[in-house]
Amino acid sequence: MATLKKSRIEISDGALIPEKDDSAVFSAWRISFFGALALIIALPLFSPEPYRRILLFLPDGILRTFEVTVLSIIFALFLGLFTGLGRISRIKVINRIATIYVEVIRGIPLLVQIFYIYYALGRIIKLPDITSAVIAMAVCYGAYLGEIFRAGIQSIPKGQMEAALALGMSRSQALRKIILPQTIKVVLPPVGNEFIALLKDSSLVSILAVSDLLRRGREFASKTFYYFETFTMVALVYLVITLFFSRLVALMEKRLHQNER
């Protein structure tokens, strides 16, 4: 009887990271990125009213979007790392706490978490808008990154840990000096995808009156009633940013593989 080979399907909310051999002049990434960039430049030139005004209205929103995204991913990485370590811990209490955190957070939509932290917990402690947004996004993505780190650590051959222990290292030393450096190389692509997904999900913080890219677009559209033009420009800016970072992640992954040789 013939055996069936199992294959794994990977789907991500992030932008598509270019393949290593995706060097064609008219690749999908190049068409999408440079096409969107050309539209951002051409629309204000050929139709200054209202596209030029829109473009001048958005930069501070772009900066706030980056601020929320960078702060959230930094805290999410630390939270995800400790969660991943907790998920593989032999201490049952720590393992159970980490597992419950992952299951609960992944079962609640990000928008609900943002509302909960800002409005529900606001009855106990009043947090600034941007602080609430960063906490909600870091807690949410920390759960997903925790699973990525767990899978990355477990993908390293067990023989490496056994060899480190045989050389006299403690488990914590072996984890810190042997396992985690290799794990970083394994988890970089999925972490990059989560960063891009977080960048897109940062648009949800506009409901807290955080003046991110989407919020600025909504403010302009509500004042001028140029809804189609405004959200066209907002969508193009988001597309350029996410595609840019997808290429950056691909370059970082390529550099890591080159250093291995």
Tell me how far apart the alpha carbons of residues 209 and 59 are, in angstroms, rounded to a whole number. 17
Within a domain: 3: no
Within a domain: 240: yes
Within a domain: 247: yes
Within a domain: 64: yes
Examine the pLDDT at 22 and tell me if it is beyond 60. Answer: no
Total number of domains constituting the chain: 1
Lowest-pLDDT choice from 16-25, 98-107, 238-247? 16-25
Within a domain: 30: no
For 208, the domain range is 48-260
Tell me how far apart the alpha carbons of residues 235 and 173 are, in angstroms, rounded to a whole number. 47
Within a domain: 159: yes
pLDDT of amino acid 77? 94
Query: Domain holding 187: CATH number?
Result: 1.10.3720.10
Within a domain: 216: yes
Q: Average pLDDT, whole number, for the chain?
A: 85
pLDDT tens-digit series, residues 180-220: 888 888 888 889 889 999 999 999 888 887 888 999 999 99
Within a domain: 179: yes
The pTM of this model reads 0.84
Q: Scan for tokens 């989407």, then name that residue.
A: 214
Band of residue 6 on the pLDDT scale cut at 50, 70, 90: very low
Alpha helices in 88-212 (DSSP H): 92-106, 110-115, 129-155, 158-166, 171-174, 180-201
